Structure 1
């Protein structure tokens, strides 16, 4: 993270709350509510701590509005760790508008696919709307009259990966629009015991992609053909990590039909380079000053604009 002078400053945040998890974890809660500003603060503190290369720090896990630090108390005294993190927090708080060097990643999505519809049909007794599908429920909640209108609303603006977790490689993504325009949908009344692998889904204000087949309670909208978790690291995109997404990544969904979905799926199986990933600098203050214009420019990065 670096300080950047821009036309708008990030909203003020109060001091973080520090707490301990047993003997090996320090929890730093930035805010009660998830916002891009709080998420940036968590990532900035995480980056600052990593740069310190403090002996005894085993893991740094930024989340939506907090971070968790795992450390070895036999190597690093808890008081020293807390003092270091508090110093970094104070330094980050002085930045008017943090920026990150990150990536924008295109994710093709086959909306209203038959697989998520079939699974959703098995669990209507756990859903707010027993009739229809998850996507039809979302359309009704958002006042949209077609799948195409929903796909345009969902894919029309980028999403920021605020954290990765729950299951290995699953990204939580926060829509990069003004709050009043965010897609917000409740989760199932009771979770499903099945969700297809690579399901694109939504719960509360967060989008996600299920990295593996398993239980889940988010509303299901479609599938992506691109794996996001590869323990064997067979595809070149996973050479550095078995997990595709990192906190701070920017995701741009692109609607595709079945034919292109099948083509991309087969190309991945052949090991072809079908992932579209472009480096980009994201400046929080510039986004806050003009969300629509800034995200339009971000989306153009994928096309070389």
Structure 2
């Protein structure tokens, strides 16, 4: 891993207080694992002068106080951390697995996508039908099974507050990939589940968007009002490194879970998990089963 990623690492100044580090030009689990591992180590050592650490898909950014540490000194420390992490014999990450219930093919995203068909590559079909077809699935149901059966890594949180970007934990040749709308929509229902490129997302709030829409989740993921016990004072549920397992639900279960959420009684199913990158690379399908077993054994 060290040769693959270190050769591509680029350090860039972003104003007087930020250092941006690009580990790879494309998203890979190797690059993401390196990014999350470096930023976790940086937090652990509590380097004086560090104000904020923001991991992303295959990069990260650090905000620092230039009166306490220079850009050059910070880069030296980050290069040392990258070498340390890259040379680890055991590449593991302490994280959690989170179940996200999803009502696929729901009436709200359907109504919305039909209002914006002129913005779409295929105005004659729905987003699910289009995604299934271009990814080689025989039916919408088969596509939904592919989306929900495998785990996804939360690689970054952003764009709007609390929105998780998720990367599918399967070999690259089997990744679901769907282009964004030709033109963005001016409306997307709150807690819509969808895909743009290779990233699945959950829209934390209602608003504009361009990702293909597949369904909605009743699970609150952003809580500025402080009404959801499963969300802490940060107001944001997901963290980079979380592993998400979607679960298809029917309308009856969706309504019951939504009612619980509206009362502040939603309880997500979660379990601690140690992710092992090498074990995953050796047997991705077997590892997906391990993730599912870990979630439902607890």
Give the TM-score, by structure 1 length.
Answer: 0.94
Match of 1:111 among 98, 104, 110: 104
Write the deviation string for residues 18-46 of structure 1: whole angstroms up to 9, x where unpaired: 11001010011101110011000011110
Instruction: Choose which of 264, 289, 294 in structure 2 pairs with 1:296.
Output: 289
Q: Secondary structure at the match of 2:40?
A: helix
TM-superposed deviation, 1:237: 0.6
- The match for 2:5 is 13
Alignment of 1:112-191 (within 5 A): 112-191=105-184
> For the residues of structure 1 that align with 2:66 and 2:287, how far apart are their CA atoms?
44
Unpaired runs of at least 5, structure 2: none
In the alignment, which of 254, 266, 273 is matched to residue 261 of structure 1? 254
Cα-Cα RMSD:
1.4
Q: Deviations over 1:137-169 (max 9, x none)?
A: 112212323332121111011000011111101
Q: Which residue is 1:244 aligned to?
A: 237
Say whether the 8 Å CA contact 1:10–1:284 is kept in structure 2.
no
Unaligned runs of 5+ in 1: 1-8
Distance apart, 1:174 and its partner CA: 0.5
In the alignment, is the contact (CA less than 8 A) between 1:10 and 1:96 conserved in 2?
no
Q: What is the 5 A alignment of 1:265-284?
A: 265-284=258-277
Pairwise CA distance, 1:77: 1.9
In terms of mean alpha carbon deviation, does 130-139 or 213-222 score higher?
Answer: 130-139
Q: Post-superposition, which runs of at least 4 consecutive aligned residues in structure 1 deviate over 4 A?
A: none
Contact 2:2–2:86 under 8 Å retained in 1: no
- Which whole-Å CA distance do the structure 1 matches of 2:259 and 2:189 have between them? 18
When the two structures are superposed, what TM-score results if normalisation uses the length of structure 2? 0.96
Could you tell me which of 33, 36, 54 is aligned with 1:61? 54
